[in-house]
């Protein structure tokens, strides 16, 4: 840990007493200044904390990144001894005062997360090779996408600050967290202790520290950044060439999961000229026996990608690094880099579903619930052939909308496109033909789909049999996306 057990307890006392929590800070600063802080505008927060009571000092040091007088910082951290806080790197000397040595972030209702101060806050200072990442966009993506159903055992691979483990502990009886970095594990252990949690912490490369063990839920925000395989910063670079870490985690998944277990991780994959990206990613899961749902949330061109990740470690101005990275992309015909969420489930069935698709639209949170119900829908589909699917009654998704595009011709409006759009949940849009539109329109939960099809067959002059055969895969697709939902008795 960064501090002794007694030191962590003393820090917890100091933070609790001062009410240095998300709510306590918001109460002190007010809505406007809190909103401004979220945009890195600290002016109002500094005005609201001119009286140096403990909460004000903690806000100035750990939120606004100010250098404050030693006596005020010592009083704010008491009963934690200042010498221990300095030795543990919690604060550091700067000018004639003290400033934050770590990112001590109030998080959730009453949690704190310890990480390193980001590169942007210490321009010119090289980032530690074992820099411990704070709560960034990718971190939050995984937090939001995690299925939060109760489990007995959960594993966080590459725990860093420990923030994923913190969330896992809310719905897992036992939490294990690993990291290759000893330094990261010290931060994670401190985060755990500061929040009164107890996780098993193990050091090692990817799944090596948990070899032979299985978990009900595995999450990982790994160092997924793709490139030549060189490692300068362990939070970003896996040391694997290209997107191999995504494939490696997929290959490890069957051996990590209990029956019914779920694994979710973030990944980058390369889009190579002359190759379909989704076929490449689908290949990761062939032979695993797992259900896989991979959604591509973003696509970046190589230049933007390299810029982003060099800036992240404060190296945006290094032309040689940039050139070497871009040369590697050129040599491997990488045209773009996809980013997304991999969700795997060990269903135990012989016919796993592997779906790799673009899902770039904004999704209604919580994404984790959407992932859970996607797998539920696969379970529904798996045990039903077309006849059984058509025997069920369905309801169209709540608030489902129809958008039409039409062109005015000699005989009035001619409809060009009809698109169904879900305003909630995964917010899919789906172009449909008139027959499917009529089918979905009739899904009010009263008639079995088979009977709806009989009415449609009569109206469109086709046989019931023909329509039922054609409808099978379409209906399955509409169910998978949640555009129509089975009515449970």
Ligand X SMILES: C[S@@+](CC[C@H](N)C(=O)[O-])C[C@H]1O[C@@H](n2cnc3c(N)ncnc32)[C@H](O)[C@@H]1O
Nearer to ligand X among residue 49 and residue 221 (C-beta):
221
For the CB of residue 471, give the shortest distance to ligand X in the complex, in Å: 43
For the CB of residue 269, give the shortest distance to ligand X in the complex, in Å: 16
Nearer to ligand X among residue 225 and residue 336 (C-beta):
225
Please tell me the number of Cα atoms within 13 Å of 1 on its side-chain side: 18
227 binds ligand X (CB under 6 A): no
Q: From the CB of residue 228, how many other CB atoms can be counted at a distance below 10 Å? A: 14
In 273-398, beta strands by DSSP E? 291-300, 334-345, 354-358, 393-396
Instruction: Please name every residue paired with 270 in a beta bridge, in sequence order, or none if there are none.
Output: 337
Segment lying near ligand X (by CB under 6 A), choices 11-19, 21-29, 172-180, 370-378:
172-180
Check whether the bond before 80 is cis (ω within 30° of 0): no
Nearer to ligand X among residue 67 and residue 146 (C-beta):
146
Length of the chain, please? 489
Q: From the CB of residue 11, how many other CB atoms can be counted at a distance below 10 Å? A: 25
For the CB of residue 121, give the shortest distance to ligand X in the complex, in Å: 17
Kindly tell me which residue out of 133, 193, 456, 468 binds ligand X, with binding defined by CB under 6 A.
Answer: 133
Would residue 306 be called left, alpha or beta, if left means φ above 0 and alpha means ψ between -120 and 50 degrees?
alpha
From residue 415 to residue 434, the character string flagging contacts with ligand X as x (rule: CB under 6 A) and all else as - is: --------------------
Kindly tell me which residue out of 10, 154, 192, 234 binds ligand X, with binding defined by CB under 6 A.
Answer: 234
Kindly tell me which residue out of 223, 246, 338, 482 binds ligand X, with binding defined by CB under 6 A.
Answer: 223
From residue 235 to residue 274, the character string flagging contacts with ligand X as x (rule: CB under 6 A) and all else as - is: x--x------------------------------------
Nearer to ligand X among residue 19 and residue 200 (C-beta):
200
Q: How far apart are CA 261 and CA 380, in angstroms?
A: 18
Q: For 336-347, give the DSSP string.
A: EEEEEEEEEE--
Closest CA to 169 of 158, 182, 153: 153
163 binds ligand X (CB under 6 A): yes
For the CB of residue 168, give the shortest distance to ligand X in the complex, in Å: 11
221 binds ligand X (CB under 6 A): yes
Using CB under 6 A, count the residues that bind ligand X: 22
33 binds ligand X (CB under 6 A): no
Q: Angle of helix 449-460 relative to helix 464-480, nearest 10 degrees?
A: 130
Nearer to ligand X among residue 158 and residue 486 (C-beta):
158
Nearer to ligand X among residue 161 and residue 378 (C-beta):
161
Instruction: Please name every residue paired with 116 in a beta bridge, in sequence order, or none if there are none.
Output: none
429 near 421, Cβ under 8 Å?
A: yes
Residues 83-122 as b/e (b if ≥16 CB within 10 A, e otherwise) read ebbbebbbbeeeeebbbbbbbbbbbbeebbbbbbbbbeee
179 binds ligand X (CB under 6 A): yes
Nearer to ligand X among residue 105 and residue 291 (C-beta):
105
For the CB of residue 115, give the shortest distance to ligand X in the complex, in Å: 8
For the CB of residue 13, give the shortest distance to ligand X in the complex, in Å: 27
142 binds ligand X (CB under 6 A): yes
For the CB of residue 205, give the shortest distance to ligand X in the complex, in Å: 4
Q: For 357-374, give the DSSP string.
A: EE--S--PSPHHHHHHHH
Q: For 173-199, give the DSSP string.
A: EEEEEEES-HHHHHHHHHHHHHTT---
199 binds ligand X (CB under 6 A): no
Kindly tell me which residue out of 21, 141, 153, 181 binds ligand X, with binding defined by CB under 6 A.
Answer: 181
Nearer to ligand X among residue 159 and residue 452 (C-beta):
159
Closest CA to 281 of 220, 204, 344: 344
Residue with token string 């001619």: 414
For the CB of residue 169, give the shortest distance to ligand X in the complex, in Å: 14
Kindly tell me which residue out of 158, 242, 352, 425 binds ligand X, with binding defined by CB under 6 A.
Answer: 158
- Looking at residue 39, the DSSP 8-state letter turns out to be T
484 near 397, Cβ under 8 Å?
A: yes
Nearer to ligand X among residue 233 and residue 450 (C-beta):
233
Segment lying near ligand X (by CB under 6 A), choices 57-65, 220-228, 333-341, 376-384:
220-228
For the CB of residue 206, give the shortest distance to ligand X in the complex, in Å: 4
For the CB of residue 359, give the shortest distance to ligand X in the complex, in Å: 21
Segment lying near ligand X (by CB under 6 A), choices 39-47, 153-161, 375-383, 429-437:
153-161
Largest Cα–Cα distance in the chain? 87
Q: How far apart are CA 33 and CA 41, in angstroms?
A: 8
Using CB under 6 A, list all residues that contact ligand X: 133, 139, 142, 158-161, 163-164, 178-181, 184, 205-206, 221-223, 234-235, 238
């Amino acid at each position: 840990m960064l501090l002794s057990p007694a030191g962590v307890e003393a820090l917890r006392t100091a933070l609790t007493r001062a009410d240095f929590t998300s709510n306590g800070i918001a109460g002190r600063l007010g809505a406007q200044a809190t909103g401004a802080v979220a945009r890195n505008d600290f002016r109002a927060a500094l005005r609201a904390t001119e009286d140096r009571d403990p909460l004000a000092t903690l806000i100035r040091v750990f939120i606004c990144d100010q250098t404050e007088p030693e006596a005020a910082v010592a009083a704010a951290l008491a009963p934690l001894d200042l010498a221990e806080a300095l030795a543990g790197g919690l604060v550091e000397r700067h000018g004639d005062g003290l400033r934050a040595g770590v990112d001590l972030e109030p998080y959730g209702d009453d949690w704190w997360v310890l990480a390193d101060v980001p590169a942007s806050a210490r321009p010119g200072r090289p980032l530690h090779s074992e820099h411990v990442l704070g709560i960034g966009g990718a971190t939050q993506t995984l937090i939001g996408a995690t299925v939060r159903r109760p489990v007995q055992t959960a594993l966080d691979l590459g725990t860093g600050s420990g923030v994923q483990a913190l969330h896992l502990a809310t719905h897992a009886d036992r939490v294990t967290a690993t990291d290759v970095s000893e330094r990261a594990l010290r931060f994670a252990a401190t985060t755990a202790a500061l929040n009164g949690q107890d996780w098993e912490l193990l050091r090692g490369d990817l799944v090596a520290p948990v070899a032979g063990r299985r978990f009900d839920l595995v999450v990982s925000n790994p160092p997924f950044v793709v490139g030549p395989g060189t490692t300068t910063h362990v939070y970003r670079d896996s040391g694997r060439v290209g997107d191999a870490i995504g494939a490696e985690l997929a290959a490890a998944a069957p051996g990590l999961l209990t029956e019914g277990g779920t694994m979710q991780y973030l990944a980058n994959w390369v889009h190579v000229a002359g190759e379909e990206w989704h076929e490449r990613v689908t290949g990761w899961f062939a032979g695993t026996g797992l259900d896989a749902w991979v959604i591509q949330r973003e696509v970046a061109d190589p230049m933007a990608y390299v810029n982003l990740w060099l800036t992240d470690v404060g190296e945006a101005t290094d032309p040689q690094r940039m050139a070497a990275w871009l040369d590697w992309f050129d040599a491997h015909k990488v045209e773009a880099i996809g980013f997304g969420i991999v969700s795997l489930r060990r269903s135990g069935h012989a016919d796993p579903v592997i779906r790799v698709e673009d899902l770039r639209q904004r999704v209604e949170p919580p994404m984790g619930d959407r992932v859970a119900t996607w797998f539920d829908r696969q379970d529904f589909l798996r045990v039903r052939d077309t006849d059984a699917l058509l025997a069920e009654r369905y309801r169209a998704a709540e608030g489902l909308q129809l958008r039409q595009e039409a062109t005015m011709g000699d005989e009035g409006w001619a409809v060009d496109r009809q698109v169904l759009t879900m305003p909630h949940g995964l917010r899919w849009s789906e172009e449909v033909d008139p027959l499917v539109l009529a089918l979905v329109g009739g899904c009010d939960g009263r008639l079995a789909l088979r009977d709806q099809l009989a009415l449609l067959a009569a109206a469109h002059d086709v046989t019931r049999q023909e329509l039922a055969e054609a409808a099978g895969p379409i209906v399955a697709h509409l169910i998978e996306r949640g555009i129509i939902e089975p009515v449970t008795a």
